Amino acid sequence: EVQLVESGGGVVRPGGSLRLSCAASGFTFDDYAMSWVRQAPGKGLEWVSGINWNGGTTAYADSVKGRFIISRDNAKNSLYLQMSSLRGEDTAFYHCARRSAWHLDYWGQGTLVIVSS
Amino acid sequence: QSALTQLPSASGSPGQSVTISCTGTSSDVGGYNYVSWYQQHPGKAPKVMIYEVSKRPSGVPDRFSGYKSGNTASLTVSGLQAEDEADYYCSSYAGSNIVVFGGGTKLTVL
């Protein structure tokens, strides 16, 4: 069974940093690209970032470019999102998702990031 | 990277059909056959219902169908059931390894 479990969320002050992790299991992790998608409470889905199978290709939404870094460790079956210069508008549930071609076929339940002073 | 356009709400009675639309541009929806649709119930993670415009993952009822014409994609839910009440999001590949989502449509089963 495919499982994606996010962790690392919490409350952080504006301008602060946070690192999210996503532990993957139930599939061959390095066969798949992965993505981060966020959802502000009561709002819609926003694609944040994606990474290919070996980490050689990454992409970011304009809203986070230059502030967030996506990475992966295939030996640990883990996906990461390093977030810095956090703003109030970054407050959201952050989901990791497995990418198959250009759709997201499995999603984690998400970890909540609150940016507040 | 502009969000795709969806109407905020749609509704239908049990047994009826409802179509949800998603409008983009030639740089996303119109440029690639990589439109997908996600269903999200409250407090749950999204679930892919349609991918590559019209393909259904295993386990998704054939009441769900997808179509694209030009820069607009559509999701049709036929034979509406109570459990279809949820938020629906479209998504498209937009080139340069970028993905964009629509703003979401809340489907109400009357």
CA-CA-CA-CA torsion for B11, B27, A40, B105, nearest 10 degrees? Answer: 0
Check if A58 contacts B (Cβ < 8 Å). Answer: yes
Calculate the average pLDDT of chain A.
Answer: 97
From the list B45, B92, B100, the residue facing A108 with the nearest CB is B45
Q: What is the pLDDT of residue B97?
A: 94
* CA B34/CA A84 separation, integer angstroms: 31
Which residues of B fall within a CB distance of 8 Å from A61?
1, 98
What is each CA distance from B64 to A63, A105, B43, B102, in whole angstroms?
32, 16, 22, 18
Q: What is the pLDDT of residue A75?
A: 97
Contact (CB, 8 A) for B101 and B22: no
* CA B61/CA A74 separation, integer angstroms: 34
Q: What is the pLDDT of residue A73?
A: 97
* CA A91/CA B47 separation, integer angstroms: 22
Q: What is the pLDDT of residue A103?
A: 96
**Do A102 and B96 lie within an 8 Å CB cutoff?**
no
**Do A107 and B46 lie within an 8 Å CB cutoff?**
yes
The one-character DSSP state at B17 is: -
From the list A44, A62, A109, the residue facing B101 with the nearest CB is A44
Reference B74, options B40, B107, B35; nearest CA is B35
From the list B32, B45, B57, the residue facing A109 with the nearest CB is B45
Place of tokens 């030996």: A75
- Cα B88-A100-B66 angle, rounded to 5 deg: 40
Residue of chain A whose alpha carbon sits nearest to that of B33: A102
Which residues of A fall within a CB distance of 8 Å from B1?
61-62
Q: What is the pLDDT of residue B2?
A: 83
pLDDT, tens digit, 9 for 90 and up, residues A55-94: 999 999 999 999 999 999 999 999 999 999 999 999 999 9
Residues of chain B whose pLDDT is less than 50? none
Check if A112 contacts B (Cβ < 8 Å). Answer: no
Could you give the percent of chain A with pLDDT greater than 70?
100
Predicted confidence band of residue A30 (pLDDT cuts 50, 70, 90): very high
